[in-house]
Structure 1
Amino acid sequence: MKPNASSVSVVRSVTRSAIRDVTRHLRGVGLRAAPLALALTFAASGGLRSAHAQSAQTAPAGQPSKAARDEAATRFKKGIDLFKETDYAAALVEFRRAYELAPTWQVLYNIGQVQFQLQDYAGALPTLERYLSEGGRQVPAARRTEVEADIQTLKGRIAFLDVTVNVADADIAVDDTTVGTSPLSKPVTVNAGRRRVAVSREGYTPQSRVVEVASGDTVKASFDLVERGANAASTAGSSGDTGSGDSSVPQTGTGSTSGGSGDSGSNVPWIGWGVTGGLAAGAVVFGVLALGASSDLQDLRGTRGVAASDLQDASSKATTMSVVCDALTGAALIAGGISLYFTLRTPPSDSAASAPRTRPSQATRAPRATWSSASRPQSSGPELQIGISPRGAQVIGSF
C-alpha cells in the first residue's frame, strides 16, 4: 500500500523543520549538522514510508516489526531532543537503542559523532568504520571523505592494551566495561591515558590495576589469577607448619620459647622505669606547686583585713596540691619498687634451665615476689618482697 500525498507532505515538512532545528543547535555547539540531519531524514522519511508501506502486512523474516520501527523512531527523536539539550550521554543511549530496534547504517554516523563529542575515541573509531563498511557505496563521496578524516584523527587519540591471563575464560574489563574473555584475539583499543584493568573468574581471586598508556602505544598487562581454594590451602599449610614446629620442641628443653620470655622480661624494666620517672616528675611539679600555695596561705594569714573566703580558697588550693603530690609520690614508689624487682631478679641457674618444664599454664604465670623456703634459690643474689595495702606500699629486700 502506497502512502497518500498528504502523509508524505506532512513527513517532508516535519523532516525539514527538524533538520533546521538540529542544524541551528549543532552550529551553536560547534559540531557538524550533517550527521544528525542525514539520519533524521532517513528516520522521518524513509523509515516512515516503510512503516506506511507495511502497515497492513506482516514484516518479512529478519526485518524489524512495525512496533519495533515505531519505537525506534520515537527513541531516535528522543535522542535528538536530548542532544539539543547537550545531554550527550543520554542521547547516545537512545541512539543505540534505536539502532538495536531497527538497525540502519545511517544511525551509526550519529552514534559515532556523539561518541566523538563525549571523547570516547576508542568507541567512536569502530562505529565510524562500521558506518563506512555497512553503508558502502551508498555513503556520499563528500561524507566518506569527511568520515575518513575523522577516523585518522581518532587513530591519533587511542592506544592498545594487550591483556593476558594465566587462565582461560576470565572476564576482562577496562574502566568497568567488559571487553571480552581470555585469551583475547587482539589487543583492546582504549582511550589514551590512565585505564583501570580488572580480571575475574569464578573460583579465583579477582585482580585489578591501573595502567597508563600513551596514544599510539601498545602496553602489555599480564595477570596471574590464583584459585581461592589453593590460596586457603596455602594459608592453612603455613599455619600447620608452624604448629608442627611448636609441637616438635622437646618439653624438657627451653627452646626458642625461653628466649622469647627473656626478651619480653628484658623490656619490662625499661617500661617500669619510664612510668616511675613520669610519676616522679609529676610529684615534683605538684610538690613545688603545693609549697607555693602553702606559702601564699601563710602570707594571707599574716595579713590583716583578708576576707575569710580568700583564706578558704588559698587553703583549699594548698590542700589539693598536697594531696595530688602525695598520690603521685606513692604511685612512683610502687612503680619504682616493681621496676626494681624485675631489674634485680636473679636469672635461673643452668641446672634450673635443664630441669623439666612445668605445664604451659604454670610456665606462663607472672613471677612471684616471694619464695618459700623449699623453692627459694640457694644463690646469694638479692631478695625482694613487695607488700601493697590500702594504707600504702612496702618494699623489703636484702642485697
Structure 2
Amino acid sequence: MTQAKAHYDRGLQLYDDGAYDGARVEFERAYELAPTYRILYNIGRVQKQQQDYAGAFKNFEAYLEEGGSQVPDARRVELTKEIADLRARTATVTIATNVPGADVFVDDVPVGKSPLKLAVRVNPGRRKVSAAKQGRLPATKVVEVAGSDRATVALDLAEPRTVVIMEKPPRRVPWIGWVATGVLAIGAGVAGYFAIDGNSKLSAARDRTDANPNDLTSRRNEVRALSIIADSAGAAAVIVGGVSLYYTITWGKEDARASTPNLAFGASGTF
C-alpha cells in the first residue's frame, strides 16, 4: 500500500508539471498495486490531456460505475458532462469475425475475444482493426472514423491454403540408343554415297573400249559391298531408333507417375 501511494503521489506531481506520459505510468502502476476506483479518475484526466478520448471515456465510466454512491455529487455531475463531451469526440466500431475465440485488437491493443458483445470505442482517425487465432490466418482492416461515427468491421480469418509442390525427377533418356541410331544413320549415308559414286564410275568404266574385265569385277564387288553396308546400316538405324523411341516414351510416363508431391502450407493475409 505504501508503494502504491508513492506512485500515486509522483503521478500527481508529474501531472501538475505537465509530464502526462510519466503521470499516466505512475497512476497505472499505483492502480496495479492497489486497484481502487479513485485512481481511475486520475488516469482518465491524464488520458484526456493526452487526447486519448476513448481511454478517458472508458475510465470515467468505470469510475462512476465502481464508485457508485461513494462518488460525490459534484464529481458525478462533472464526469457526466465530461462523458457526454467525450462521446461526441469518439467513435464506436462493431467488430465481427467468422470464427469464435479469436483475439481482437485495435491499433495492436487487445480489446477481447470474438464474438465481442459490445462495440469498441475508439479515437477519431485511422484505426487498425485486426484479429488472430491459432490455426487460422490473421486478418486486418483499417477503418477511418470521425467523432460520433458508428462503423462496422468484418474480419475473415481464412484457413491456411495447401500448396502441392511436385518434385519431378530428372527425365531418363536412352542416350546410348539415340547415339547409336545417329552413328548408324550417318554410316548408312556415307556408305550409300560411296556406293552411288562407285556405281557411276563402274558405268563409265564399262563404256570404255579398253575396259579391263578384272577391274570391272573389282568395281562391281565394291559397289555391291557398299550397297549391302548402306542397307544394313539403314535398317539397323531404323530398328535402334524405334527401340530408343519406345523407351523414351515409356520412361517418360514412368517418371511422371513417380513424381512425389510435397505439401507446403501458404499463408496470406493483409497487414
The reply to whether residue 145 of structure 1 matches residue 104 of structure 2 is no
Letter in 1 for 2:126: R
Match of 2:32 in 1: 100
Match of 2:109 in 1: 177
Match of 2:2 in 1: 70
- Measured in 2, the distance between the counterparts of 1:117 and 1:191 equals 14
Match of 2:153 in 1: 221
1:188 paired residue among 108, 117, 120: 120
Q: Check the 8 A contact 2:141/2:155 in 1, yes or no.
A: no
- Measured in 1, the distance between the counterparts of 2:71 and 2:96 equals 38
- Measured in 1, the distance between the counterparts of 2:133 and 2:69 equals 44
- Measured in 2, the distance between the counterparts of 1:80 and 1:159 equals 30
Secondary structure (helix, strand or coil) at the match of 1:179 reads strand
| Cα drift, residue 154 of structure 1 | 0.4
The reply to whether residue 163 of structure 1 matches residue 95 of structure 2 is yes
- Measured in 1, the distance between the counterparts of 2:18 and 2:108 equals 24
Q: Which runs of 4+ in 1 moved over 4 A?
A: 356-360
Greater relative contact order structure (CA < 8 Å, 6+ sep)? 2
| Cα drift, residue 104 of structure 1 | 2.5
Give CA-to-partner distance per residue, 1:31-69, whole Å, 9 cap, x none: xxxxxxxxxxxxxxxxxxxxxxxxxxxxxxxxxxxxxx1
- Measured in 1, the distance between the counterparts of 2:246 and 2:88 equals 77
The reply to whether residue 211 of structure 1 matches residue 211 of structure 2 is no
- Measured in 2, the distance between the counterparts of 1:122 and 1:359 equals 73
| Cα drift, residue 110 of structure 1 | 0.7
Letter in 1 for 2:84: Q
Q: What TM-score do you get using the length of structure 1 for normalisation?
A: 0.40
Match of 2:86 in 1: 154
1:85 to 1:206, Cα distance in 2 relative to 1, 3 A: same
Secondary structure (helix, strand or coil) at the match of 1:156 reads helix
| Cα drift, residue 359 of structure 1 | 6.4
| Cα drift, residue 82 of structure 1 | 2.5
Q: Check the 8 A contact 2:130/2:155 in 1, yes or no.
A: no
1:357 to 1:183, Cα distance in 2 relative to 1, 3 A: farther
- Measured in 2, the distance between the counterparts of 1:223 and 1:140 equals 43
Letter in 2 for 1:169: G
- Measured in 2, the distance between the counterparts of 1:156 and 1:162 equals 17
| Cα drift, residue 166 of structure 1 | 0.9
Q: How does 1:294-333 map to 2 (within 5 A)?
A: none
The reply to whether residue 198 of structure 1 matches residue 130 of structure 2 is yes
Q: What TM-score do you get using the length of structure 2 for normalisation?
A: 0.58
Match of 2:15 in 1: 83
- Measured in 2, the distance between the counterparts of 1:87 and 1:77 equals 14
1:118 paired residue among 7, 26, 50: 50
Q: Which one has the bigger strand percentage?
A: 2
Mark the runs of 5 or more structure 1 residues left unpaired by the alignment: 1-68, 244-355, 361-399
Q: Which one has a bigger Cα radius of gyration?
A: 2
The count of aligned residue pairs is 173
Give CA-to-partner distance per residue, 1:161-215, whole Å, 9 cap, x none: 1111111111110011000111111211111221001111112221212111222
1:131 paired residue among 44, 51, 63: 63
Secondary structure (helix, strand or coil) at the match of 2:39 reads helix
Match of 1:384 in 2: none
Give CA-to-partner distance per residue, 1:118-158, whole Å, 9 cap, x none: 11111111211122223233322222211111111001011
| Cα drift, residue 90 of structure 1 | 2.3
- Measured in 1, the distance between the counterparts of 2:25 and 2:116 equals 27
| Alpha-carbon RMSD | 2.4
Identity of aligned residues (%): 45
Letter in 1 for 2:141: R
| Cα drift, residue 116 of structure 1 | 0.9
Give CA-to-partner distance per residue, 1:208-259, whole Å, 9 cap, x none: 121112222221111111222xx1x2x32xx67xx9xxxxxxxxxxxxxxxx
- Measured in 2, the distance between the counterparts of 1:178 and 1:151 equals 23
